[in-house]
Structure 1
Amino acid sequence: MKVLKFGGTSVGSAENINKVISILQQQSKSSKIVVVVSAVGSITDKLIEAAELACEKDSDYINKYNNIWSIHNKVIEGLFINPENDKEIQQQHDLLHEIISDKLYELRSLLDGIYLINELSPKTKDKLLSYGEYCSSTIISHTLRSRHIDAQLKNSQELIVTDSNFNNAQVNFTITNKNIQDYFKNSEPSITILPGFVSKSGSNEITTLGRGGSDYTAAIIAAAIDANELQIWTDVSGMFTTNPKLVKQASPITELSYQEAVELSHFGAKVLYPPTVMPVLRKKIPIVIKNTMEPEAIGTTITLDKKPNGISPVKGISNIDGIALLTLQGNGMVGIPGFSKRLFETLAQEKINIILITQASSEHSICFGISQNDASKAKNAIDEAFEFEITLQKLDPIVVETDLSIIAVVGDKMKSHQGISGKMFSTLGKNNVNIRAIAQGASERNISAVIHKNDVKKALNSLHEQFFELRTKQINLFITGVGNVGERLIEQIKQQKSYLKENFKINLRVTGLSNSRTMVVDDDGINLKDWKSTLANGEKASLKGFFDNAKKLNLRNSVFVDITANSDVANIYPQYLKESISVVACNKIACSDNFDYYSELKSLSRKYNASFLFETNVGAGLPVIDTLNHLITSGDKVNNIKAVLSGSLNFIFNNFNANSTFHDIVKQAQTEGYTEPDPRIDLSGVDVARKILILARESGYKMELSDIKSKNFLTENAIKANSVEDFFSTLVDDESHYQSLYKSANAKNCQLKFVAEFKDGKAQVGLEEIPEGHPFYNLEGKDNIVMFFTERYPEQPMIIKGAGAGADVTASGLFADIIRIANN
C-alpha cells in the first residue's frame, strides 16, 4: 500500500484536481492507495485573515468569507461540467454542493461568533482551520465517485488522537496507530481520501498538527500501516540543490538520505518539513517527492541510504531568512558552570526556538540564532535573568543583531572529504559576503553560516556555482561607455560567449549597459542580439543610478567596465570596489591622477578582494602592464623603460614627409579614428605622459604627472589655440616649423618618434630623432613598442611590440582583463 499526499497547490483548482485524479487512477491500478489532501490553495491563509478581521470587529471578514465560498464553488463547478447531462453525476454534484454549503454555513456562524465575542482562542482557531481540509477532501472524494472510481472518504479526526495543545498538538501514537491499523485492516476501496492537518484530542475536541501538518498526517498513516512508499506531491519536481527562485541553475536532487532531507528542510527547503520524516524514518519507508504538474519528472527519493553520485558530497544548499543573532558575553562567564543552562532555560520558558548555536572555546561568549520575531522578547527575558551579573559588569547586556539569514551546506559524506568548509568560506569571502557566525557539528553533515539578508542571493549563487555547476563561473558585467570601443567589446563577448563557456567554464553576462544618455540593467542578463535598441529604450543615464543598480542586485563576480575618458566615472571606482565589484578601466584618468588616489584604489582592491585592472591604459591590447607586473612580482627590478606609446603620433610621423603637410596628416589621423576628436590631446603629449606615469607607478615608484618633463614639439600658436578649428589653422600657418623637424631628422637618416622614457626615478616625453638600427626606427603604422631594461634584462631589453591603437585591439585588451578576473 502507498500513501500519497497532495499539497494546496495540487488541489488549488479544478484543473489541478483533474491532474490529481489522473495520478490516482494510474497508481491505484497496481495497489491500494491512501490519499491525504491539504486545503484548497490559499484557503488556510484566507481562513486566518477572515478570523482575525472578525476578532478585530472588522466587518470585512464577511467579504473574506464570501471569497472562500466563491473559491470552493468555482472548483466544484469546474469539476462537474454540464452535470445535467448525466443523472448520476447531477446527483453527486447536488449532494456535494449541499454538503459544502452546509459546512461553509457552519463556518460563517463560527466567524460571526468570533466577531460577537471579540476573541480568537487557540481552540477556536483549530476548529476554524479544519474547514479547509474537510472541504477539499470532500470535493475530491465526491468527484472520484461521480467518475465511477472506487474511492472512500475517511475523516482523519477519527483516526489521529492528540493532546489538547491546540495549534500544535502532540500525537498519542499508541492510540493513533491502533486506530489506523484497525481501520485499514478492513478497508475495501482501492482509494481512501483523508483530510490532512486535522486531528482530535482525547476529549474529542478538534486539534491541528501545526506547520506541515498534512505532510505529518501522511507520514503518521504511512508508518502505522507499514506503507511501501510515502509520496509527497507538490508544485516542484522534488527537493532542489538550492532555492530555484534565487538560483536559476538549481536542479532537482534525485536521491537523499533521511538525515540530509531533515537538514535541508530544517534550513528552509519548504517542500518537506522535518517532523514529516520522523515516523517513516523509524520504519525505513522511502519518501518520494513529485510534481503534480509534471508527474513524469523523476522527483526526489529519500531513503535510509543513498547511492554516492561520485561528484560531490554536498547535496544541497539552503537558507532561513528572518534571523536575529544574540550574543551573551563577558569575562564573568569564563570557567563558571551553569551559564549555558540558565540561558537556554530562560529561552525555553519563553517558548523561543533556537536555530543555531556557537560558543567560543574561551567560554567568553555564547552566540545563538533565533527567529527575528522573537528577538525583543528574548532580549528582555535574558537581560532580566542575568540582571545581577550585568549590574556587576560580569556580563555585558545581550547584543542583538537583526536582518540576518542562515545559509547551510548539507551532505552526508562531507566529513570524509577535505576542504568543503574551506571552499564554502573562501567562496563567500571572494564575493565579499561577511560571515557573522559559523556552526558545524562533528558529523559535518551541515555547515551553517549567518550572513546579512541582502547577501543571500549572492551567497547561494556563488556556493551553487562552486559545488554544483562543474566549476562554471558566471561573470556579471556592468559596462559604461558603449561607443566605438564598447561596441567592439560587446561584439567580441557575443562571439566568444559559447566558446568560453564550453572550453573554459566561464559564463559572461552583460548585466548593465550605459552611455551618456540612457542606461539599462537586467538581473537576467541583456540580450546582446538587440542590445542597442534595449539601451536606447532604457532609463535616463546616471552614474549614481548605474552604481545603485549594481549594488542592489548584489550579484556574484560583478565587474564594472569603464570605456570612457570621463573623470566623473573614474572618481566613482572606490564605490564599486567597496562593494567587491571589480573594475576594468580603459579610462587612464584614475591611474594617472594624484598618487594618493591611485594608491587608494590599489588598497581598496586588496581589502575588498575586487580586481582593479587597466591593461588598456598603456598599449591598448598589448600585454604591457601584465608583463611588467610579472617582472616585479617575480623579484625583478626595472631600471629603465623606453617606449613609443602613442599609436596616433606614430601614425602621424610615419606618414608625414616633404610631400605632405602636417595639417593633412593630422586631419587624416583624426578622420580614421587614430586621434581623439580633439587631436591636441594626442599631440600635446599629455596622453603619453599619463602612460609612462602609470608604468613608473606599476614599477614601484611614487610619481605625479607634474614630475614628468614634456618636450613639446607644437608651436606656441598651436598650444594657445582656443578651439580645434583654430588649432588646425595654426598647423597650416606653421607648416614650415613641422617641415623643419622632418628635414632635420631626414638629413641624419633618422625617423621622428614621440618617445617616453623612465630612468633613474625620472620620466620625460618628447619628439626624438631615432637613428637607423634602433628598435624604434622601423615602427610602422599605429604600432607601439615598449622596452624594459631590468636587472635581469640589463643590456638586451624585454621588448613588447604591436598595434597600440584601434577599437578592436583596445576592446580585446578589455576582454583580456575580464578573463583575468574570471580566472582569478
Structure 2
Amino acid sequence: MKVLKFGGSSVGTPESILNVKNIVEATARPAVVVVSALGGVTDQLIAASCMAAAGDSAYSESVDSLMERHHKMVNAVVEPRRRPQLLENLDHLLTDLRSILHGVFLIQDLTPKTADAIVAYGERLSSLITAALLDNACHVDSLDVVCTRVQNSKTLVDFDLTNRRIVEQFGKHPGLFVCGGFIAKDAETGRITNLGRGGSDYTASIIAAALNAEALEIWTDVDGFMTADPRVIPTAYTIPQLSYNEAMELCNFGAKVVYPPTIYPVCTKNIPIYVKNTFHPSHAGSVISSDMSLTANGESTFTAPICGISSVNRTSVVTVSGPTMVGVIGVNRRIFACLAQNGISVFMVVQTSSETSTSLCITPEDGQKACKVLDAEFAVEIEDGAMNKAQLEEGLATVAVVGENMKRTPGIAGKLFSVLGRNGISVSAIGQGSFEMNISFVIQQEMLSKALNVLHNSFFLSEYQDVNVFVCGTGNVGGSLLQQIAAQRERLMKERRLRINLVGVSGRSHSVYHPEGINAAHYEEAMQNGEPGGINHMVERIVEMNSFNSVFVDCTASENVARQYETLLSHNVSIVAANKAAASSDFGRYKLLKDTARERGVKYLFETNVGAGLPIINTINDLTGSGDKVLRIEAVVSGTLNFVFNALSADIPLSKAVRMAQEQGYSEPDPRVDLSGKDVIRKLTILARESGYRVNMEDIEAHLFIPNSLFEGSLEEFWEKLPGLDAEFEARRQRLETEGKCLRFVATWADGKGEVGLREIDQTHPFYHLEGSNNIISLTTSRYHDYPMLIKGYGAGAEVTAAGVFADIMRCANF
C-alpha cells in the first residue's frame, strides 16, 4: 500500500493533472491518492467569502469563474462517457456553495463555521475530478473519514476515531482510492473543519500511518527538499535524504515543501516519505526516513555536516528583562502563559545564563501585542523597578542551520559564526538545543540573503566555493588581470571547485555591476552599456550589493581610491591592492587599515606593491609570523632603473637608456617618477613595515643620481637637459667595466634605518648578475644570518603584476 498526495499545482491545469494520471497508473495497487484543491482555488474561495461578508455582489462572479474552470478541466481530461454524471455532481456542490455565499452576503457576517465550510469545496471538487480521471478509482469523501475535536480552542485530529474509519474505508479491499486532503468533520457536532493550510499533506500522512503503508509520496512542484531557498541561492540543490528530525526542523523554520505536522504520524510508524516533482517525475527527489542510507535512487548517502539551511524571513524579538528574574521560579511560566492566553506563538527562545533576560522570537504581527500583554502581566514589577518594560526589536530574520551530522562534527558553530563575522553579519540572538541538530540565530533582515549565501557556500552545500570580485582600474594591470580571470575561471572551477565571480568593474568614466557575474572576456562592452565610473560610485554600489565573500581589487595608482580602503574594510570587503599609496602612507593610516582588516576578519593584501609577482611580502610575513626577525634588507626593486643601468653601453648613453625604458613601457610616461627614487622609497617603507618596523617614507634617506634641476620644469625640458649627464655616466661606466663592477639602485634597511641610492656592485655580489628589469631582494634574519635569503625574478610588467594580484585574490578565497 502506498499513499500519494498531489498538491494544488499538480492538479491545477489539464497538463499537470494528466501527469498525475500517468504517475498513479505507474504505481502498484493498492494505493490511496490524496489531492488538494486546484491551484489557487482555496485563495479564490477565501476571497469570495470576504466579498460576500462585505456585501460585495462580485462573489457571484467568483463562483461563476470557479464553475467555468472546473467544467473546462472536466472537458479537457475526463473521458466523455464519465462527464455527464461528474458535471452534475460538481454543479450540485457549486450550487450549495453559491447558496452559502448568498446567505453570508445577505447577513454580511462570516462565522468561522461558515468559513470552514466554504474553503472545503476546493478539495471536494478536485477529488471528484481526479477520481473520474483515473481508471477503476473509488472516490472517498474525506468528511466521512477524518474526524477532529476541539481541545483548548484548537481543532485537533481525533486519531482513534479517524484511524478506525480509515481502516473501514480503505482497508476492506485492495484497489485505488481518491479523496480530498485538508478537510475534516467535527466528531461531535458534525460541522466541517479543516487541518490548516497545507493540511492535505497531513491528511495523506494520517491515512498512511493508519494503513501501515509502505511509503508516503508527496508530489509537488519542486524536486524535493533543497539545501536552501533556490530563489535566494541559485546553486541550491536537492537533498537526497533527510532524517525525520531534520525534515521537521527545516519545515518549522520556513521550508514550505511539506506541512510540518505531516511528519509525525508516519515517523511513529517508520514509514518513509518521498518528496517528488509532478512535473519532473524522473528526478529522484528527497526521501525522509529513519534509515539515512535509504535514497530514492540508490545513490550514496548525504554526509555533509549540515543538510540544509532554512529561514524565517520576518522576525521580531521581544525581550523581557530585569534584575529580579534571577533565581525566581515561575517568571518564564508567567511569560509563556500570558502569551498563550493571548494567542501569541513563540518559535524560538533565548535566555541568558544569568537569567536576567529572556528573548522571544515571534512574528512581526504579534510584536506590539506581545509587549503590551507582557507589560500588563508584569505591571507591578515594572512599577517597582524590579523589571523593565518589554523591548521590541523589529526588522529581523531568523536562520536555521540543520543537520544530524553536526553532533558528530566538532567546530561547526565556531566555523558558522566565524564566517558570519568575516562577512560583517552581526548575530542578535542564538539558539541551539543539546541535540546539536539545529543552530538558529537572529540577524538583521537586510543581511538575510548574504547570510544564506555565505553559509551555503562555506559549508560545502554549494558545488563551488565562490569569491565575488570587484576590479577598480582597467589599465595595463587591470586589463591583464581580467584576461587572466577569463582564461583561468573554468580551470579553477574544475580543478579546485573555486568560482571567481566578477561582479563589478570600474574605470574613470564607465562601470558595470551584476550580482550574478560579468563575463570577464567581454567586460569592455558591458562597461560601455553600464553605469557611471569613478571610485565614489563604485564604493556605493559595493556597499549596496552587500555581496558575500567579496574582494575589492585596486589596479590603479590613485590616492583617491586608496582613501576608500577603510570604508570597504569596515563593510567586511577584503582588499587586494597593486596600488602602493595606502601601504606606504602615514604609518598611523597603514596600521589602521591592517588593524581594521584583522578586527573585521577580512584580508588586506598587497603582495604586488613590491616585486610585482615575486613572493616577497608573503615570505617576510611567514618569517616574522614564525618568530624570525628581519635584521637587514637589501633590494633592487625598481624594474625601470635596473633596465636603465643594464642597458648602458658604449652605444647606449643614459639619456637613450631612459628613453628606451619609457618606450618599452618599463617606466611611467614621465620617467622622472622612477628616476626620483620615490617608488623605491615607497617599496622600502612597505618592506620595513611588514618586517615589524615603525617607519614613514620621510624617514628613508635618498641619495639621488639625477640633479634636482632636472625634476623642475616641463617633461620636454627634462628630455632636453638629460643628455647633459651622458658623458659623466659613460666615464663612470667605463671605469666600472675595467673594475668588474656595475651600477645598481639599491634600497637598504639596516640597524633600524633606511636609505636608497646608486651603488657600485662587484662581481661577487648577488646583485651583479641581475638582468633586464628583474628585481632581487636579500633578507638577513636571525635564522638566515650567515647566508641571507634571496628572492629574484621578474619585478615589473603588467602580466606578472596581474598574476601576483590574482594570487592574492586566491589567498582571499582560501581564507
Q: Confirm or deny a common fold (TM above 0.5).
A: yes
Q: Rate the CA distance shift 1:390–1:544 in 2: closer, same or farther, 3 A.
A: farther
Q: Rate the CA distance shift 1:416–1:816 in 2: closer, same or farther, 3 A.
A: closer
2:401 paired with 1:429: no
Of the candidates 801, 813, 823, which is equivalent to residue 804 of structure 2? 813
2:768 paired with 1:766: no
* C-alpha contact 1:414 1:445 (8 A) present in aligned 2: yes
Partner SS state of residue 26, structure 2: helix
- Once residues 13 and 601 of structure 2 are traced to their aligned partners in structure 1, the CA distance between those partners, rounded to angstroms, is 50
Q: Rate the CA distance shift 1:78–1:551 in 2: closer, same or farther, 3 A.
A: farther
* C-alpha contact 1:643 1:784 (8 A) present in aligned 2: yes
Partner of 1:438: 430
* C-alpha contact 1:126 1:166 (8 A) present in aligned 2: no
Q: How does 1:370-769 map to 2 (within 5 A)?
A: 370-469=362-461, 473-722=465-714, 727-749=715-737, 750-769=741-760
2:266 paired with 1:280: yes
2:767 paired with 1:776: yes
Pairwise CA distance, 1:345: 0.6
Partner of 1:205: 191
Deviations 1:184-212 (A, max 9, x none): 24467x33221111122232222121132
Q: Rate the CA distance shift 1:413–1:741 in 2: closer, same or farther, 3 A.
A: closer
Partner SS state of residue 583, structure 2: helix
Partner SS state of residue 290, structure 1: strand
Of residues 532-541 and 562-571 in structure 1, the stretch that sits farther from structure 2 once superposed is 532-541
Of residues 388-397 and 750-759 in structure 1, the stretch that sits farther from structure 2 once superposed is 750-759
Q: How does 1:249-398 map to 2 (within 5 A)?
A: 249-307=235-293, 309=301, 311-398=303-390
Partner of 1:31: 29
Q: How does 1:48-127 map to 2 (within 5 A)?
A: 48-56=46-54, 68=66, 71-72=69-70, 74-79=72-77, 89-90=79-80, 92-93=82-83, 95-97=85-87, 99-100=89-90, 103-104=93-94, 106-108=96-98, 110-111=100-101, 113-114=103-104, 117-127=107-117
Deviations 1:468-520 (A, max 9, x none): 44995322212121222223223323333344344444332222222223222
* C-alpha contact 2:240 2:302 (8 A) present in aligned 1: no
What count of residue pairs does the alignment treat as equivalent? 805
- Once residues 228 and 765 of structure 2 are traced to their aligned partners in structure 1, the CA distance between those partners, rounded to angstroms, is 62
Pairwise CA distance, 1:177: 2.2
2:138 paired with 1:152: yes
Partner of 1:86: none
Q: How does 1:786-797 map to 2 (within 5 A)?
A: 786-797=777-788
Of residues 295-304 and 157-166 in structure 1, the stretch that sits farther from structure 2 once superposed is 157-166
Of residues 497-506 and 11-20 in structure 1, the stretch that sits farther from structure 2 once superposed is 497-506
Partner of 2:39: 41
Partner of 1:2: 2
- Once residues 647 and 578 of structure 2 are traced to their aligned partners in structure 1, the CA distance between those partners, rounded to angstroms, is 27
Of the candidates 123, 130, 141, which is equivalent to residue 133 of structure 1? 123
Q: Rate the CA distance shift 1:96–1:529 in 2: closer, same or farther, 3 A.
A: farther
Deviations 1:192-250 (A, max 9, x none): 22111112223222212113211111112222233222111011222223333333333
Q: Rate the CA distance shift 1:657–1:9 in 2: closer, same or farther, 3 A.
A: same
- Once residues 103 and 654 of structure 2 are traced to their aligned partners in structure 1, the CA distance between those partners, rounded to angstroms, is 98
Pairwise CA distance, 1:582: 0.8
* C-alpha contact 2:351 2:359 (8 A) present in aligned 1: yes
Partner SS state of residue 354, structure 1: coil
Of residues 403-412 and 262-271 in structure 1, the stretch that sits farther from structure 2 once superposed is 403-412
- Once residues 563 and 644 of structure 2 are traced to their aligned partners in structure 1, the CA distance between those partners, rounded to angstroms, is 32
* C-alpha contact 1:234 1:292 (8 A) present in aligned 2: yes
- Once residues 658 and 730 of structure 2 are traced to their aligned partners in structure 1, the CA distance between those partners, rounded to angstroms, is 15
Pairwise CA distance, 1:9: 1.4
- Once residues 536 and 68 of structure 2 are traced to their aligned partners in structure 1, the CA distance between those partners, rounded to angstroms, is 49
- Once residues 541 and 415 of structure 2 are traced to their aligned partners in structure 1, the CA distance between those partners, rounded to angstroms, is 29
Partner of 2:204: 218
Q: Rate the CA distance shift 1:306–1:634 in 2: closer, same or farther, 3 A.
A: closer
User: Structure 2-normalised TM-score?
Assistant: 0.92
Partner SS state of residue 193, structure 1: strand
Of residues 425-434 and 35-44 in structure 1, the stretch that sits farther from structure 2 once superposed is 425-434
- Once residues 444 and 24 of structure 1 are traced to their aligned partners in structure 2, the CA distance between those partners, rounded to angstroms, is 40
Of the candidates 157, 171, 192, which is equivalent to residue 171 of structure 1? 157
* C-alpha contact 1:648 1:682 (8 A) present in aligned 2: yes
Of residues 489-498 and 553-562 in structure 1, the stretch that sits farther from structure 2 once superposed is 489-498
Partner SS state of residue 335, structure 2: helix
Q: Rate the CA distance shift 1:364–1:281 in 2: closer, same or farther, 3 A.
A: same
Of the candidates 145, 168, 178, which is equivalent to residue 193 of structure 1? 178
* C-alpha contact 1:439 1:448 (8 A) present in aligned 2: yes
Partner of 1:84: none
Of residues 51-60 and 742-751 in structure 1, the stretch that sits farther from structure 2 once superposed is 51-60
- Once residues 764 and 55 of structure 1 are traced to their aligned partners in structure 2, the CA distance between those partners, rounded to angstroms, is 89
Deviations 1:680-706 (A, max 9, x none): 322222222211121122222223333
- Once residues 427 and 604 of structure 2 are traced to their aligned partners in structure 1, the CA distance between those partners, rounded to angstroms, is 24
Pairwise CA distance, 1:6: 0.4
Deviations 1:548-605 (A, max 9, x none): 4433443332211111112222122122212222110011111122222211111110
- Once residues 307 and 431 of structure 1 are traced to their aligned partners in structure 2, the CA distance between those partners, rounded to angstroms, is 35
- Once residues 648 and 110 of structure 1 are traced to their aligned partners in structure 2, the CA distance between those partners, rounded to angstroms, is 91
User: Structure 1-normalised TM-score?
Assistant: 0.91
Task: Look up the equivalent residue of 1:792 and give its one-letter code.
Answer: R
Partner of 1:83: none
* C-alpha contact 2:250 2:310 (8 A) present in aligned 1: yes
* C-alpha contact 1:615 1:624 (8 A) present in aligned 2: yes
Task: Look up the equivalent residue of 2:20 and give its one-letter code.
Answer: V
Of residues 768-777 and 566-575 in structure 1, the stretch that sits farther from structure 2 once superposed is 768-777
- Once residues 557 and 34 of structure 1 are traced to their aligned partners in structure 2, the CA distance between those partners, rounded to angstroms, is 49
Q: Rate the CA distance shift 1:167–1:106 in 2: closer, same or farther, 3 A.
A: farther
- Once residues 291 and 136 of structure 1 are traced to their aligned partners in structure 2, the CA distance between those partners, rounded to angstroms, is 19
* C-alpha contact 1:197 1:212 (8 A) present in aligned 2: yes
Q: What are the ranges of 5 or more consecutive residues in structure 2 without an aligned counterpart?
A: 295-300
* C-alpha contact 1:693 1:704 (8 A) present in aligned 2: yes
- Once residues 522 and 71 of structure 2 are traced to their aligned partners in structure 1, the CA distance between those partners, rounded to angstroms, is 48
- Once residues 109 and 462 of structure 2 are traced to their aligned partners in structure 1, the CA distance between those partners, rounded to angstroms, is 57
Partner SS state of residue 264, structure 2: helix
Q: Rate the CA distance shift 1:10–1:187 in 2: closer, same or farther, 3 A.
A: same
Task: Look up the equivalent residue of 1:655 and give its one-letter code.
Answer: A
- Once residues 377 and 735 of structure 1 are traced to their aligned partners in structure 2, the CA distance between those partners, rounded to angstroms, is 86
Identity, % of aligned positions = 42
Of residues 207-216 and 549-558 in structure 1, the stretch that sits farther from structure 2 once superposed is 549-558
Q: Rate the CA distance shift 1:402–1:157 in 2: closer, same or farther, 3 A.
A: same
